[in-house]
Amino acid sequence: MHEYAGNLHSHTPYSDGALYHADLAQAGLRAGLDFLLVTDHNIWVDGVQGYHTAPAGKKLLLLTGEEMHNMQRQPQSSHLLVYGVPHELAAHTSDPQMLLDAVNAAGGLAFVAHPFDPAAPHFGEAAYAWEDWHVHGFHGLEIWNYMSEYKSLMTSTTAAARYAFFPAHGISGPPPAALHKWDELLAAGQTVTAIGNADAHGNTYNLGALRRCVFPYEHLYRAVNTHLLLPEPLRGEWRADELAIYAALRAGSCFVGYDAPAATRGFRFSATVGATTTNMGAQVRLPTGAALQLHAHTPALCNLRLLHNGTTVASAVQADALDYTVSVPGVYRIEASIKFHGRMRAWIFSNPIYVRE
């Protein structure tokens, strides 16, 4: 498999971000990313997609999607990340199911953005959580949104300023409600792909006397990312490579990595039966008369947990691998945590391997 690290959620001045696409691409290149999906609010920006090159020659593929919601609604909740639709869908936002139907009819992908976004009442910020769980047709959840987690830390001016200067002291993982909802949907038989993103705006905030660009794009691109595993290497032609990236996302062949404590590149989670190995996102039949082995490998020592239908069934402390023989069907996924700034932090979330009867 060929691994590509990227970020699927950023804004430019086409909505409420500070910098344009070429600057985001350079920030992504400095952070070591391979691709960016830029998602302005309720506007699909065409004509900016393509490869960008760093002075040292490294390349980054920039693509555009859209973050969509009903702007008439108060609070303006239920944001949906839409990828792979080559035309504007803003006319469909009045109803979330109508929007999802339009995305699917166009062959696109839809992920629920920051599903449990908290309010920050001290700063007059409403919660932009997902309020429409009755809908169907989305492909996954943004389980970890860096800026949404920062919002949860803004409990006072002092706390907001502290974590603005030292965000790594506060950032520690997705909201538990997001992981719980993910497991609940998986247990109901749905295929749900998890992604993790920056939600980068690069904006300057006023926090009392403090005024600074709190979270530059580059800082965020070194933090919560989505790593894709592709069966073939990207070719260097953006239109073909765009399809390969969407295919991997659609297949759930990806994981969420918090790349600040240690690079997550190299993480793998696979299932082996005999000579056949399949990766994250795969649907695997529980074999009769042969063993189904799960294998997880991390690029650094960490604490590992294997979850079966949301419950831990195996774990390892200060390890870089975990093996498990499956005897019952269900949904299996890996969580890894690592020590950073004196505390254990969430580090890696695999996508599931679906073991069916």
Q: Which residues bind Zn ion (CB under 5 A)?
A: 67, 79, 113, 199
- Classify residue 313 by burial, with Cβ atoms within 10 Å: 0-12, 13-18, 19+: middle
Q: Please, what is the minimum distance in Å from the beta carbon of residue 174 to Zn ion?
A: 15
Q: What's the Cα-to-Cα distance from 132 to each of 90, 100, 135, 164, 242, rounded to whole Å?
A: 18, 12, 6, 31, 29
CA distance 66 to 9: 9
In the complex, the smallest distance separating the C-beta of residue 266 from Zn ion, rounded to whole angstroms, is 28
Closer to Zn ion by Cβ: residue 79 or 92: 79
Q: Smallest distance from the beta carbon of 79 to Zn ion, in angstroms?
A: 4
Identify any residues that bridge with 83 across adjacent strands, giving them in sequence order.
109
Query: For residues 81 and 186, which CB has a smaller minimum distance to Zn ion in the complex?
Result: 81
DSSP 259: T
In the complex, minimum distance from the CB of residue 171 to Zn ion, in angstroms, rounded to a whole number: 17
Minimum CB–partner distance for residue 223 and Zn ion (Å): 15
CB of 190 to Zn ion, least distance (A): 22
- By C-beta, is 111 or 340 nearer to Zn ion? 111
- Which C-beta is closer to Zn ion: that of 92 or that of 333? 92
Q: Residue number with the shortest CB distance to Zn ion?
A: 79
Q: What minimum distance in Å lies between the beta carbon of 113 and Zn ion?
A: 5
Token pair, residue 325, equals: 């023989």
* Identity of the residue, 60 or 129, whose beta carbon is nearer to Zn ion in the bound complex: 129
Q: How far apart are CA 6 and CA 229, in angstroms?
A: 11
**Among the listed residues 193, 149, 236, 133, the one whose alpha carbon sits nearest the alpha carbon of residue 8:** 193
CB atoms within 10 A of CB 154: 22
Shortest Cβ 17–Zn ion spacing (Å): 9
* Backbone φ/ψ region at 289: left (φ over 0), alpha (ψ -120 to 50), beta: left
How many Å apart are CA 126 and CA 346, to the nearest integer? Answer: 26
Nearest residue (CB) to Zn ion, 34 versus 67: 67
Residue 253 tokens, joined = 């062949």
Q: Cα 35 from chain centroid?
A: 13
Dist CA 195 CA 108 (whole Å)? 16
Q: Residue 137 corresponds to which tokens in the numbers above?
A: 């047709």
Please provide residue 277's backbone torsions phi and psi, each rounded to the nearest 5 degrees: -115, 135
Q: Which of 229, 323, 321, 231 is nearest to 280 (CA)?
A: 229
| Choice between 83 and 267, CB closer to Zn ion | 83
Of 67 and 241, CB closest to Zn ion: 67
